[in-house]
């Protein structure tokens, strides 16, 4: 020990090394001793004050309001439940910081069945003082060296070494394997460690060492190891109490009370770090001159004041300071001190334990004191024993008051009048000094008589508990690997996306030429975007998205006014007979006309019909096939305008003038084009997905004419139906396709649009459950139900403003019983699925805008894209990802995305207006 410490009390307080006064007689000596020891008495009131004040400090810290350095820290760990008893496997455990200057390595085997135990193998290593106070790297290199020495001595058969790191210092944990040291306590002060992740430092050191490949899976405080390793008795052990070199406790707190956590369910283990408790009001009256002297000499003056009255590192030192003082007062050792007595650290915890033990006998006390170079008189041994008892008793009572605070906290948070609880105890002070526990117990009974506490000694010095946490962490890490493997095919790189873009451009060209292609490239007979001269009142229908709408659109010089009403199309109608569907549509129109006072009028009508149609003119559209959730019979191959006219005919009372049939992409482009003449692309990402754009007429093989433009409905949802997306399709896409009403059709759409993303997520969740990664491996009926996972949940769950607990609540509302770990994984699944969708969509848009640029032979193209669809509009990240992908893949196009605010009905009305204008011109 250093020489500054050796001078200790003597220089500061001016004590001579040998009393120069006349020696007091033995009875005076004992009086002097007893008088001095009065300072170590702590009254019941003082204990109560400490209990109350510590409880206050704990509650403040839980609420996130702890400001003073003397407050307790209340550090949440990532341990959320006490062991199930089913944990199994072999684990390496490294313990640093609990027991003085030693480091322990253990090999723990968990048997997976309660009650079955195998003794661990362990080895202790002494850490040299220069390592405890030197550079951090040296400390961690030392630890790595001890690990390989241990493994050299006890070779193990497995290559797969998983390590739990018991690191007993205050740390901010951000994961089971991420923990930043806040400050050293006890006898450590290595540079370059505070503020760093100790797991990473250990991993780096193990790598530098190079002898073994060891995965550091979890990091825990010793109190947590103590609690987790405890054999469950009547109930689980929910408090871990350590009195070793230092002192601390952890306990299971309700997560909702821990302000720093984003969690409102379940419990979390919180490390109190009560060693730093030092509230002046509470501790002031019990602090002695010896406590102040000890604090001043310590490595961390002013810090850990409470720990310095209880922890084993300090008890010997307190006894030494008292003995030196009493010797200098002439009350002990004939008034003489010795160099050893005046040297810091010369009396250790084990000396005090032995001297205080009534069974040890005076001879042993003599021997210890003589070893310190003291001349021991007849009454000295007994008086020294008093000193040890006083110091020890105070420590046990203070520790009892602190435990009482934790128990009151538990009682309060559990809202239980009578608390029955098991406390796991660990550390050398408990192990070597049985009366410590009995004094502590008495104090607890005095302060919280309504708590029924059983004390259970920890197993393997906490090593087993560390192994338990490691087992859980290892399982979670394995789950994460499985999750990553599952999601890997959804993570597309730039090359893959560029390949999609290139394939799309090729398919577009083929489709336009009339060659076999999965892109139909349907002419729409829309030859120009609006020029602003359109006028009149129009009816519009909007069928095929989430809502069926009937609209009245008034286009005037002052702008466009829209009145609309949403009608439902029951699934039985969408998938019933064609006649029934079109009759229903006409019924809705009649209802709308009546409500709007339009009955009897024959306004021109534009029909947004969002399905693939081969158009032969503006008012002729042959339905090629149904998509999305529609499957009404006898419609495919028929002219939809005729079907509508026939239904009107059946309802003889109505007159309607169907002028144009428009795809929703076209309606959207026209609607946005009314505001921005650069809008030459329409994009829908809603229930389905599709795009249209203005193509050069000369490129459109199926329509006569070489000049001018025509809007082409790409029907890109079907892209890849020829198998060209094969490499990108996952087994989950195949599952969704198989279960759909149109297997083998709309491949691109099924990877992108709202009708399918929730289903993809659901299939992934089913798979992860079957692997045991999610929902504890339990398949639920709910999750097996088709379409329960709506795409709107993706948008909600992925919202940045949502805390994880809200994500959890959404999923629980769906009837999925899940933990926070589950919630996080579900979130990641959603993100992977929607990100792929947005990127594929972006690759498609990049193909379209590049095609336009190439058509026009431009170096740079500036163009706008009109967009609609609930997925695009409601998802928090979809639009950003589409834009980013387009920038990446089509850098020579400056693309602006305009969200359609009025739906495509307005566009259909505009198309109708143009048609009416042209028809009038024809007549003129």
883 within 8 A of 842, measured Cβ to Cβ: yes
Site string for ligand GLC, 611-630 (x = CB under 6 A): xx--------------xx--
* Nearest C-alpha neighbor of 803 from the set 185, 9, 256, 42: 256
Among candidate residues 104, 305, 320, 549, the one labeled active-site is 549
Tell me how crowded residue 217 is: count the other CB atoms within 10 A of its CB: 25
524 is a contact residue toward ligand BG6 (CB under 6 A): no
759 is a contact residue toward ligand BG6 (CB under 6 A): no
Q: Which is nearer to ligand BG6, 395 or 684 (CB)?
A: 684
The dihedral sign for the CA sequence 643, 647, 652, 658 = negative
Interface of this chain with ligand GLC, residues 88 to 117, rule: CB under 6 A: 98
273 is a contact residue toward ligand GLC (CB under 6 A): yes
**In the bound complex, what is the minimum distance in angstroms from residue 222's beta carbon to ligand GLC?**
5
Looking up tokens 């070199």 gives 245
Among candidate residues 244, 295, 380, 664, the one labeled active-site is 664
Q: In what order do the strands lie in the sheet with 451-457?
A: 75-76, 267-271, 247-254, 237-243, 419-426, 451-457
| DSSP letter, residue 333 | G
**In the bound complex, what is the minimum distance in angstroms from residue 755's beta carbon to ligand BG6?**
8
**In the bound complex, what is the minimum distance in angstroms from residue 543's beta carbon to ligand GLC?**
10
> Which of ligand BG6, ligand GLC, none has residue 542 at its interface (CB below 5 to 8 Å by kind)?
ligand BG6
Tell me, yes or no, if 513 is annotated catalytic: no
Of the candidate residues 29, 57, 393, 610, the single one contacting ligand GLC (CB under 6 A)? 610
Tell me, yes or no, if 614 is annotated catalytic: no
| DSSP letter, residue 191 | B
**In three state form, how does the secondary structure of 116-159 look?**
CCCCCEEEEEECCHHHHCCEHHHHHHHHHHHHHHHHHHCCCCCC
Site string for ligand BG6, 101-130 (x = CB under 6 A): ------------------------------
> Which of ligand GLC, ligand BG6, none has residue 608 at its interface (CB below 5 to 8 Å by kind)?
ligand BG6
Question: Which region among 36-44, 286-294, 436-444, 660-668 touches ligand GLC (by CB under 6 A)?
Answer: 660-668
Interface of this chain with ligand BG6, residues 534 to 553, rule: CB under 6 A: 542, 544-546
46 is a contact residue toward ligand GLC (CB under 6 A): no
| DSSP letter, residue 726 | G
622 within 8 A of 616, measured Cβ to Cβ: yes
Q: Which is nearer to ligand BG6, 664 or 680 (CB)?
A: 664
Question: Which region among 22-30, 345-353, 839-847, 898-906 touches ligand BG6 (by CB under 6 A)?
Answer: 898-906
For residues 827 and 808, what is the distance between their CA atoms, to the nearest angstrom? 9
Site string for ligand BG6, 673-692 (x = CB under 6 A): -----------x-xx-----
- Is 216 strand, coil or helix? strand
For residues 743 and 611, what is the distance between their CA atoms, to the nearest angstrom? 17
For residues 823 and 827, what is the distance between their CA atoms, to the nearest angstrom? 6
* Nearest C-alpha neighbor of 564 from the set 584, 574, 549: 549
868 is a contact residue toward ligand BG6 (CB under 6 A): yes
Q: Which is nearer to ligand BG6, 842 or 866 (CB)?
A: 866
Cβ-proximal residues to 568 (8 Å cutoff; 6+ apart), any chain: 548
Using a 10 angstrom Cβ sphere, with 0-12 exposed, 13-18 middle and 19 or more buried, the burial of residue 800 is: exposed
246: its two tokens: 């230092």
Q: Which is nearer to ligand GLC, 335 or 463 (CB)?
A: 463
Looking up tokens 């050069």 gives 696
Tell me, yes or no, if 822 is annotated catalytic: no
> Which of ligand GLC, ligand BG6, none has residue 170 at its interface (CB below 5 to 8 Å by kind)?
ligand GLC
33 within 8 A of 326, measured Cβ to Cβ: yes
> Which of ligand GLC, ligand BG6, none has residue 183 at its interface (CB below 5 to 8 Å by kind)?
none
Q: How far lies 263's CA from each of 174, 727, 795, 811, in Å?
A: 14, 40, 21, 14
For residues 151 and 372, what is the distance between their CA atoms, to the nearest angstrom? 39
* Nearest C-alpha neighbor of 606 from the set 285, 179, 913: 913
**In the bound complex, what is the minimum distance in angstroms from residue 806's beta carbon to ligand BG6?**
24
Q: Which is nearer to ligand GLC, 148 or 742 (CB)?
A: 742
Total residues at interface with ligand GLC (CB under 6 A): 36
Of the candidate residues 663, 724, 839, 900, the single one contacting ligand GLC (CB under 6 A)? 663
869 is a contact residue toward ligand BG6 (CB under 6 A): yes
Q: Which residue stretches of 597-697 are H helix?
A: 640-650, 664-675
For residues 741 and 425, what is the distance between their CA atoms, to the nearest angstrom? 63
Q: Which is nearer to ligand GLC, 40 or 188 (CB)?
A: 188
496 is a contact residue toward ligand BG6 (CB under 6 A): no
By CB under 6 A, name the binding residues for ligand BG6. Answer: 542, 544-546, 608, 610, 664, 667, 684, 686-687, 754, 868-870, 903-905
Q: Which residues bind ligand GLC (CB under 6 A)?
A: 98, 168-170, 185-186, 221-223, 242, 244, 246-248, 273, 275, 307, 544-545, 610-612, 627-628, 663-665, 684, 686-690, 715, 717, 749
Active-site annotation, residues: 549, 610, 664
């Amino acid at each position: 020990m250093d020489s500054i410490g050796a001078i200790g009390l003597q220089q500061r307080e001016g004590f001579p090394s040998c009393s120069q006064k006349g020696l007091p007689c033995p009875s005076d000596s004992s009086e002097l001793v007893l008088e001095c020891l009065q300072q170590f008495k702590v009254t019941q009131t003082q204990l109560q004050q400490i209990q109350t004040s510590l409880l206050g400090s704990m509650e403040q810290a839980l609420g996130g309001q702890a400001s003073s350095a003397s407050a307790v820290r209340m550090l949440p760990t990532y341990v959320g439940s006490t062991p199930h008893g089913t944990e199994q496997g072999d684990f390496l455990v490294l313990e640093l910081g609990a027991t003085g200057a030693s480091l322990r390595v253990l090999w723990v085997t968990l048997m997976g069945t309660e009650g079955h135990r195998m003794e661990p193998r362990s080895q202790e290593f002494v850490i040299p003082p220069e390592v405890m106070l030197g550079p951090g790297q040296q400390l961690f290199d030392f630890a790595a060296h001890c690990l390989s020495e241990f493994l050299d001595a006890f070779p193990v058969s497995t290559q797969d070494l998983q390590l739990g790191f018991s690191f007993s210092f205050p740390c901010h944990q951000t994961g089971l394997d991420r923990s930043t040291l806040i400050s050293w306590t006890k006898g450590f002060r290595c540079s370059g460690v505070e503020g760093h992740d100790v797991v990473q430092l250990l991993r780096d050191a193990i790598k530098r060492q190079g002898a073994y490949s060891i995965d550091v899976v979890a990091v825990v405080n010793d109190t947590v190891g103590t609690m987790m390793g405890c054999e469950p008795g009547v109930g689980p052990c929910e408090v871990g109490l350590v009195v070793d070199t230092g002192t601390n406790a952890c306990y299971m707190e309700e997560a909702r009370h821990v302000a720093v956590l984003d969690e409102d369910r379940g419990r979390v283990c919180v490390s109190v770090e009560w060693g730093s408790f030092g509230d002046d009001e509470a501790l002031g009256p019990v602090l002695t001159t010896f406590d102040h002297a000890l604090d001043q000499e310590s490595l961390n003056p002013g810090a850990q004041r409470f720990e310095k009255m209880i922890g084993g590192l300090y008890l010997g030192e307190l006894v030494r300071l008292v003995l030196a003082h009493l010797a200098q007062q002439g009350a002990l050792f004939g008034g003489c001190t010795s160099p050893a007595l005046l040297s810091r650290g010369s009396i250790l915890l084990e000396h005090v334990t032995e001297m205080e033990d009534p069974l040890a006998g005076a001879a042993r006390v003599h021997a210890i004191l003589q070893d310190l170079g003291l001349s021991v008189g007849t009454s000295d041994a007994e008086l020294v024993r008093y000193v040890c008892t006083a110091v020890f008793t105070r420590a046990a009572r203070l520790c009892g008051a602190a435990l009482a605070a934790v128990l009151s906290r538990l009682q309060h948070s559990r809202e239980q009048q009578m608390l029955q609880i098991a406390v796991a105890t660990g550390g050398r002070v408990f192990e070597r000094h049985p009366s410590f526990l009995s004094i502590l117990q008495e104090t607890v009974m005095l302060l919280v008589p309504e708590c029924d506490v059983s004390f259970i000694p920890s197993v393997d010095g906490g090593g087993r508990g560390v192994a338990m946490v490691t087992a859980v962490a290892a399982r979670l890490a394995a789950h994460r690997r499985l999750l990553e493997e599952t999601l890997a095919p959804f993570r597309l790189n730039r090359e893959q996306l560029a390949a999609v873009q290139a394939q799309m451009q090729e398919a577009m060209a083929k489709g336009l030429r009339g060659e076999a292609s999965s892109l139909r490239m349907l002419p729409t007979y829309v030859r120009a975007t609006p020029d602003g001269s359109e006028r009149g009142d129009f009816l519009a229908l909007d069928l095929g998205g989430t809502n069926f709408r009937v609209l009245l659109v008034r286009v005037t010089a002052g702008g466009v006014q829209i009145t609309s009403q949403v009608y439902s199309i029951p699934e039985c109608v969408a998938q019933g007979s064609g006649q029934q569907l079109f009759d229903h549509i006409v019924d809705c129109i009649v209802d709308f006309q009546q409500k709007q006072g339009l009955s009897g009028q024959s306004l021109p009508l534009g029909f947004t019909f969002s399905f693939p149609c081969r158009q032969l003119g503006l008012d002729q559209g042959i339905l090629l096939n149904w998509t999305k959730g529609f499957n009404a019979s006898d419609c495919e191959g028929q002219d939809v305008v005729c079907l509508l006219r026939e239904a009107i005919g059946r309802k003889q009372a109505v007159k309607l003038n169907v002028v144009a049939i428009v795809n929703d992409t076209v309606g959207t482009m026209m609607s946005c084009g009314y505001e921005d003449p650069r809008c030459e692309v329409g994009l829908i990402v809603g229930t389905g997905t599709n795009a249209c754009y203005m193509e050069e007429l000369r490129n459109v093989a199926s329509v006569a004419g070489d000049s001018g433009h025509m809007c082409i409905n790409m029907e890109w949802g079907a892209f890849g139906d020829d198998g060209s997306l094969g490499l990108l399709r996952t087994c989950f896409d195949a599952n969704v396709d198989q279960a759909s009403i149109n297997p083998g059709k709309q491949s691109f759409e099924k990877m992108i649009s709202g009708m399918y993303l929730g289903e993809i997520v659901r299939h992934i969740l089913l798979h992860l459950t079957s692997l045991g990664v999610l929902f504890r491996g339990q398949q639920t009926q709910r999750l097996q139900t088709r379409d329960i996972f709506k795409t709107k949940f993706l948008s909600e769950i992925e919202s940045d403003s949502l805390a994880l607990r809200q994500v959890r609540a959404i999923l629980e509302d769906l009837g999925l019983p899940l933990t926070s770990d589950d919630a996080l994984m579900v979130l990641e699944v959603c993100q992977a699925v929607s990100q792929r969708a947005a990127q594929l969509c972006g690759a498609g848009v990049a193909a379209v805008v590049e095609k336009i640029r190439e058509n026009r032979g431009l170096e740079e193209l500036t163009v706008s894209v009109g967009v609609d669809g609930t997925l695009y509009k409601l998802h928090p990240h979809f639009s950003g990802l589409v834009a980013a992908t387009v920038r990446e893949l089509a850098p020579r196009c400056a693309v602006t995305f305009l969200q359609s605010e009025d739906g495509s009905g307005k566009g259909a009305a505009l198309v109708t207006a143009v048609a009416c204008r042209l028809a009038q011109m024809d007549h003129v």
